Structure 1
Amino acid sequence: MPVHMDSITTKQDIGHVRIAQEVVATIAGLAATEVEGVAAMSGGLGGGIAEMLGRKNLTRGVKVEVGEREAAIDMNIIVNFGSRIPEVAKRVQENVKRSIESMTGLTVVEVNVHIQGVNFPTPETKEDDRVR
């Protein structure tokens, strides 16, 4: 299992490269929200209601554990009503893994997706034809 660290440090020929753990979490959050069917990241369950987070707080729904060469990701998401949850979760796993590996050089050993809720569409207000 990867060791929890604040940043990832790699030794290059001319010095060290440090990638903050929050950067990996941000990459994971952005990659997840790119997947069709994902309504938002979720900060977890509070009072029985999932807190939906906007783009500013993508990392609050993501837990990252990193080692020298590997990373494990846990993420909480909210899916759109009507989406096939297993398919959305699989696409999230694939996109997060691909994004982190290509941007950081780490090997992603697991991406655990936790569905925290379903986003129902808001009913559109119907305009009364008689009143304009």
Structure 2
Amino acid sequence: MSDNYLIDGVNNGDVKISEEVIATIAVVAIEEIEGVVEMQSSLKTSVTDMLGVKNLSKGVKVSIGENEAVIDAFITVEYGKNIIELGKEVQKNVKEAVENMTGLDVVEVNVHISGIAMADKEKAKA
């Protein structure tokens, strides 16, 4: 993911923002939302986790164009939460955070609910 950059030319040179930085911004925005239990990882991030490498962009895929971005988020949600409303809140938070911090136009935030988890109280009853 870190091979692609948003490049903004300025008077004294370029400002480059990697996809991984944008993904990290998205993860932080997602983790602020009550009801999101965890970010899902790909095989690549699972291997780096086993090796002890901290991956702050786990569960987010970013594609950047000239001045826009498409973001895919893979999350596990808490059982009992309204999944549609939670997905909309993720979209809103991610779009606002990335646009405010990078100036990119976030044209899509695709939320993939890839799991559901029981709250601790529910696990204890089971």
Q: Which has the larger radius of gyration?
A: 1
Q: What is the CA-CA distance between 1:122 and the residue it aligns to? A: 2.8
Q: What's the % identity of the aligned pairs? A: 48
Task: Kindly report the root-mean-square deviation, in angstroms, between the aligned alpha carbons of the 2 structures.
Answer: 2.0
1:20-76 per-position Cα deviation (integer Å, ceiling 9, x unaligned):
11000101111111111111101159xxxxxxx9xx444231110001200000110
Which residue is equivalent to 2:39?
Answer: 41
Letter in 1 for 2:25: I
- Structure 2 gap segments, 5+ residues each: 44-48
Is the 8 Å Cα contact of residues 10 and 68 (structure 1) preserved in structure 2?
A: no
- Pairwise mapping of residues 41-80 of structure 1 onto structure 2 (< 5 A)? 41-43=39-41, 56-80=54-78
Letter in 2 for 1:18: K
What SS does structure 1 have at the residue aligned with 2:94?
helix
What SS does structure 2 have at the residue aligned with 1:59?
coil
Point out 4+ residue stretches in structure 1 off by more than 6 angstroms. Answer: none
Greater strand proportion: 1
Which residue is equivalent to 1:114?
Answer: 112
Letter in 1 for 2:97: S
Greater helix proportion: 2
TM-score (norm 1): 0.78
- Structure 1 gap segments, 5+ residues each: 46-52, 126-132
